[in-house]
Amino acid sequence: MKPILEAKDLTKVFFRGSLLARDRIVAVDNVSFTMNRGEIFTLAGESGCGKTTVARMILGFEEPTSGEIVYENEQERKDKEKVWFSQRIQAVFQNPFETFNPLRKVEGYLFETVRNYQLAQNRADAVELIDQKLAAVGLSYQEVEGRYPSEFSGGQLQRISIARALLIDPSLLIADEPVSMVDASIRMSIVNLFRRLRDELNMGILYITHDLATAYYLSGQIAIMFRGNIMEMGPVQEVLMNPRHPYTQLLRESIPEADPDRKWQGRISIAETEQEEYLRQGCKFAGRCPKVMEICKNQVPDTVLVDGIHVKCHLYKGTASEVEGVRAKPV
């Protein structure tokens, strides 16, 4: 079966600073992965590793510097404006309070999508369709009608945002940190909703998170990113239970807490700033890696296959590790 989406050597370069002293940041560096229908694929990594930039390129908000994205419905993607509709890709973002204008009734967003995509002939049909999609996320039109964003909790707004995405029957849903700003008590109900969408609608979901616990619970495949690079990628069970890359090993030990950014970073020692890491010559992780070797400081490691897992690390250089079935052990 054709994949829903294939990212091939996807690269995005940003320039930062003034014209005379500007830094070239490779925010996404030759990232490749394949997503299938009915699969939840996770991009995980701490803040500032390039996850959102990958999502924005898939959504057509950002042009890749190089590389390409092959969508399931390839022949229709010529017209950029139509990417969302023809490819049936929808997105849910981190902060539901930013998605919805506080001065605008929430139902307005739902009717707007129905109108934009001409999903109904009249208002009654529109209400029926909206009610049906709200029911899929555990709400109803009655609960939403006439109300403003401030009258809902973050979790409810996130559900409404998912219901809006469902209106066009997406084949691929991109969920960028969808639960990191939602109360822990209802986080699992949203995470379970993603599982249901995968199972019942055979949807592909690109789940973006810094939280390995929900990633473990949800995903089939996982890619661990660090400063633009996929450091390790493979089936979630293997990658998280038996991590090969020192970065994955470190990440696994730092259990994130409620506040997404600061506490999370506080648990892993940060020896350098994000900027310095992006500008590193060799392996981006060399400055923090407990297993750093001389070669890591000046040579970018290749990605090798270790028991079918993609690992970008000099520890696995050499023939044995590249042979399938031979378990390479880190030295």
Ligand X SMILES: Nc1ncnc2c1ncn2[C@@H]1O[C@H](COP(=O)(O)OP(=O)(O)O)[C@@H](O)[C@H]1O
Contact residues for Mg ion (CB under 5 A)?
A: 52
Q: Determine how many CB atoms are found less than 10 A away from the CB of residue 273.
A: 11
Q: Cα separation of 187 and 194, whole Å? A: 11
Tokens standing for residue 221:
């495949």
Query: How many Cα atoms are found within 13 Å in the side-chain-facing hemisphere of 234?
Result: 22
Going residue by residue from 268 to 287, which x/- string records binding to ligand X, judged by CB under 6 A?
------x-------------
113 lines the binding site for ligand X (CB under 6 A):
no
CA distances 120 to 117, 128, 140, 159, 160, Å, are 9, 9, 18, 22, 19
Closer residue to ligand X in complex, CB, 53/90? 53
* Burial annotation 45-77 (CB, 10 A radius, 16+ → b, else e): bbebbbbbbbbbbbbbebebeebebebbeeeeb
22 lines the binding site for ligand X (CB under 6 A):
no
- Give the residue closest to ligand X by C-beta: 52
48 lines the binding site for ligand X (CB under 6 A):
yes
95 lines the binding site for ligand X (CB under 6 A):
no
Q: Give the number of residues in contact with ligand X, rule: CB under 6 A.
A: 13
What's the closest the beta carbon of residue 55 comes to Mg ion, in angstroms?
Answer: 8
| Residue 24 binding result from Mg ion, ligand X, none, given CB thresholds of 5 to 8 Å by partner type | none
| Residue 265 binding result from ligand X, Mg ion, none, given CB thresholds of 5 to 8 Å by partner type | none
**Which residues have a Cβ under 8 Å from the Cβ of 98 and sit 6 or more positions away?**
none
51 lines the binding site for ligand X (CB under 6 A):
yes
Q: Which helix (H) or strand (E) holds 68?
A: strand 66-71
Going residue by residue from 221 to 260, which x/- string records binding to ligand X, judged by CB under 6 A?
----------------------------------------
Closer residue to ligand X in complex, CB, 10/144? 10
| Residue 50 binding result from Mg ion, ligand X, none, given CB thresholds of 5 to 8 Å by partner type | ligand X
47 lines the binding site for ligand X (CB under 6 A):
yes
Closer residue to ligand X in complex, CB, 61/117? 61
What's the closest the beta carbon of residue 312 comes to ligand X, in angstroms?
Answer: 17
Q: Cα separation of 151 and 104, whole Å? A: 12
Check if the beta carbon of residue 152 is closer than 8 Å to that of residue 160.
yes
What's the closest the beta carbon of residue 90 comes to ligand X, in angstroms?
Answer: 18
Residue 68: phi, psi to the nearest 5?
-145, 165
Segment interacting with ligand X, rule: CB under 6 A, options 29-37, 45-53, 179-187, 194-202 = 45-53
What's the closest the beta carbon of residue 253 comes to Mg ion, in angstroms?
Answer: 22
What's the closest the beta carbon of residue 27 comes to ligand X, in angstroms?
Answer: 3
Cα four-point dihedral sign 128, 126, 73, 170: negative
Binding ligand X (rule: CB under 6 A), the pick from 3, 11, 13, 14 is: 14
Nearest to 72 by CA among 167, 199, 175, 172: 172
Closer residue to ligand X in complex, CB, 57/306? 57
Angle at the Cα of 111 (from 108 to 112), degrees rounded to 5?
80
Interface positions with ligand X (CB under 6 A):
14, 16, 25, 27, 45, 47-53, 274
